[in-house]
Amino acid sequence: MKKDILTLSDKIRFECAPGNPCFTKCCQDVNIILTPYDIIRMKNALGISSEKFLDQYTLIIYKEKKLLPMVLLKMNEKDKKCPFVSKHGCRIYNDRPWACRMFPLEAVEEKTYRIIADEDLCLGLRSDKEWSISQWVIEQGVAEYDHMNRDFFKIVDSLKRIEPEMSSPSPRLQDMLCMCLYNLDKFREFIVTTTFLHKFDIDLHKVNRLMTSDIELFEFAIDWIKFGMFGEPTLKLKGK
């Protein structure tokens, strides 16, 4: 049966708490697709590099003729649980991914949602605590994630449009796109150890910010893709 579409003014009853018998069961054997901003928040919360995070905690899956991979949070092999969940809850709760923040909802289209939790299994949906969807989105800190994901999803859509024109994307191009979006620490290293800074006209203050801010670097990566893949004037070559 098709689930009801909810708007920001609609209300749900929900509360996830340690006292619920089903607490953390939704954090097991589930596919959680990670965005670049999810990875920034999670790897910084753990105090590790993006490369180590990707190696240790994700599955990177390429589909045929696709430029970008699907990056999934890797569940524990033994019990299929999220590697960050404990009996007390999420160990990186303040930096949990977008999908976890939205639960028990998922976005359908802009500003519309539906409940994805199984109402027979999720006891949190039987709570007396009531939220409007707008209250839930604000409480869960979704707005910042939506803001950071907006340009990323635009790039994803743009890349999808040119994929049919490519007989087969080169592994080098796939690796480069994956690096500059998902592996920001490696992208930062690429910028300073190759001829990159000799080719592009970037002022010193901007370079310093790229070396210290993952957010600035991520936004710069988006601009580089726009320049390199679509010829948009987001960057300037030296001497031109």
| Annotated domain spans of the chain | 6-143, 156-230
The helix or strand, by DSSP H or E, that contains position 26, with its residue range, turns out to be none
Do 71 and 98 meet the contact criterion of CB atoms below 8 Å apart?
A: no
Q: What is the dihedral of CA 96, 98, 101, 106, to 10 degrees?
A: -150
The helix or strand, by DSSP H or E, that contains position 109, with its residue range, turns out to be strand 105-109
Q: Alpha-carbon torsion 39, 40, 46, 48, what sign? A: positive
Q: How far apart are CA 238 and CA 236, in angstroms?
A: 6
**Per-residue pLDDT tens digits of the chain, which is 240 residues long:** 346 899 999 999 999 888 888 898 899 999 999 999 999 999 999 999 999 999 999 999 998 889 999 999 999 999 999 999 998 899 999 999 999 999 999 999 888 999 999 888 898 999 999 999 999 999 999 999 999 999 999 999 999 999 988 888 899 999 999 999 999 999 999 999 999 999 999 999 999 999 999 999 999 999 999 999 999 999 999 987
